[in-house]
């Protein structure tokens, strides 16, 4: 890990939702981690464990009945304390580039990819006039999106190309943090490898990536560290080599998650381990 100032520092982040009648449902509890320049941290766990809620908290995209605590500092700004105006104007796209879980839902269906790239270039950069179309072409090439598909609409794209379009949009602002939320959902194995390799190319000296995924193979391919989440808590945070190495993870749930992979023991996680993880 780098000894430089972290790109993102999360301390005690918690999220709960106020339900009708005044009861609360807790989704994330006391999350702690840092993300260094040039690093990819993979936040892994089963569906419903709180990974995407944590991502939404960083972006300020939680519903109105959500309450947060703790801090998440990016470039001197506490994302959890920032108001909507600040998040919309200075964070989304500029400080955090989002590669969403569902490209089809993220892309505007009635506009071509070229049109959506042009709008984002105008919004996030100083490029105007004659330089706009070359900038759009450069943005497409950066995400390996084919130029001959720029005039197509989202419904005319394959899942992989839609993902590349979203990646191109996420990279335009050169945000220091790339947040990839389940970027490989629904893709076959070869396309998963290709997608995560493309994302990894954009981690640089001043940029880092938080990869949120249930796909441990994707995490092993590009992450530097692994954070394991269950029932809203980060149970283990370790170097990739230690997690996937012979010794394996320390926490019983993390070991169970790894052993459940088809290429490993393919053993279901015992209920007692799940219950222990819930109360860890």
The DSSP annotation for 98-147 comes to: EE-S-HHHHS-TTS-HHHHHHHHHHHHSS--GGGHHHHHHHHHHHTT--G
Q: What is the mean pLDDT of residues 121-142?
A: 93
Q: What is the mean pLDDT of residues 138-165?
A: 93
Band (50; pLDDT cuts 50, 70, 90): very high
Q: What is the pLDDT of residues 51-84, one digit of tens each?
A: 999 999 999 999 999 999 999 999 999 999 999 9
* 11 alpha carbon, distance to own chain's centre: 18
Q: What is the pLDDT of residues 191-234, one digit of tens each?
A: 788 888 888 988 988 999 999 998 999 999 999 999 999 999 99
Band (272; pLDDT cuts 50, 70, 90): low
Burial (CB < 10 A; 0-12, 13-18, 19+), residue 28, is: buried
- Residue 172 clears pLDDT 70, i.e. is over it: yes
DSSP 91: I
Q: What is the pLDDT of residues 251-267, one digit of tens each?
A: 999 998 888 887 777 67
Q: What's the pLDDT at 93?
A: 94
Q: What's the pLDDT at 194?
A: 83
* Euclidean distance between the first and the last CA atom of the chain, given in angstroms as a whole number: 27
Q: What is the mean pLDDT of residues 106-112?
A: 95
Given 3.40.50.300, 3.55.40.20, 3.40.190.170, 1.25.40.10, which CATH number is that of 1-89+211-280?
Answer: 3.40.50.300
Q: Where are the domains of the chain?
A: 1-89+211-280
Band (152; pLDDT cuts 50, 70, 90): very high
Question: What are the residues whose beta carbons fall under 8 Å from the beta carbon of 184, sequence distance 6 or more?
Answer: 191, 192, 195, 196, 213, 215, 218
- Residue 136 clears pLDDT 70, i.e. is over it: yes
- Residue 43 clears pLDDT 60, i.e. is over it: yes
Q: What's the pLDDT at 118?
A: 96
Dihedral in degrees, nearest 10, Cα atoms 250, 255, 257, 259: 160
Q: What is the C-alpha separation between 239 and 249, in angstroms, rounded?
A: 10
Q: What's the pLDDT at 95?
A: 96
φ, ψ for residue 176, nearest 5 deg: -65, -20
Q: What's the pLDDT at 191?
A: 79
The answer to whether 8 and 77 have CB atoms below 8 angstroms apart is: no
Band (273; pLDDT cuts 50, 70, 90): low
Output the six-digit token pair for 13.
Answer: 């982040």
Q: What's the pLDDT at 1?
A: 47
**Average pLDDT across the chain, whole number:** 91
Q: By percentage, how much of the chain surpasses pLDDT 90?
A: 69
* 248-to-187, 225, 234, 242 alpha-carbon distances in Å: 27, 13, 17, 6
């Amino acid at each position: 890990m780098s000894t430089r100032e972290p790109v993102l520092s999360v301390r005690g982040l918690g999220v709960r939702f106020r339900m009708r009648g005044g009861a609360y449902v807790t989704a994330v509890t006391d999350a702690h981690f840092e993300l260094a320049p040039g690093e990819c941290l993979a936040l892994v766990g089963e569906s419903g464990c709180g990974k995407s809620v944590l991502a939404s908290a960083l972006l300020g995209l939680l519903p109105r009945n959500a309450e947060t605590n703790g801090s998440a500092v990016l470039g001197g700004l506490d994302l959890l304390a920032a108001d909507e105006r600040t998040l919309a104007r200075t964070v989304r796209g500029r400080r955090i580039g989002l590669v969403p879980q569902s490209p089809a839902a993220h892309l505007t269906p009635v506009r071509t990819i070229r049109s959506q790239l042009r709008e984002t270039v105008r919004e996030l950069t100083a490029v105007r006039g004659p330089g706009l179309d070359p900038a759009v072409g450069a943005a497409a090439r950066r995400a390996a999106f084919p130029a001959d598909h720029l005039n197509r609409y989202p419904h005319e794209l394959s899942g992989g190309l839609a993902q590349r379009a979203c990646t191109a949009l996420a990279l335009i602002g050169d945000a220091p943090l790339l947040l990839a939320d389940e970027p490989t959902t629904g893709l076959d194995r070869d396309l998963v490898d290709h997608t995560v390799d493309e994302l990894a190319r954009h981690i640089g000296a001043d940029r880092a990536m938080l990869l949120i995924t249930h796909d441990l193979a994707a995490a092993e391919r590009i992450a530097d560290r692994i954070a394991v989440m269950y029932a809203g808590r980060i149970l283990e945070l370790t170097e990739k080599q230690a997690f996937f190495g012979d010794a394996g993870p320390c926490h019983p749930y993390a070991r169970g998650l790894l052993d459940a992979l088809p290429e490993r023991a393919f053993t279901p996680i015992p209920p007692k381990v799940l219950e222990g993880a819930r109360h860890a």
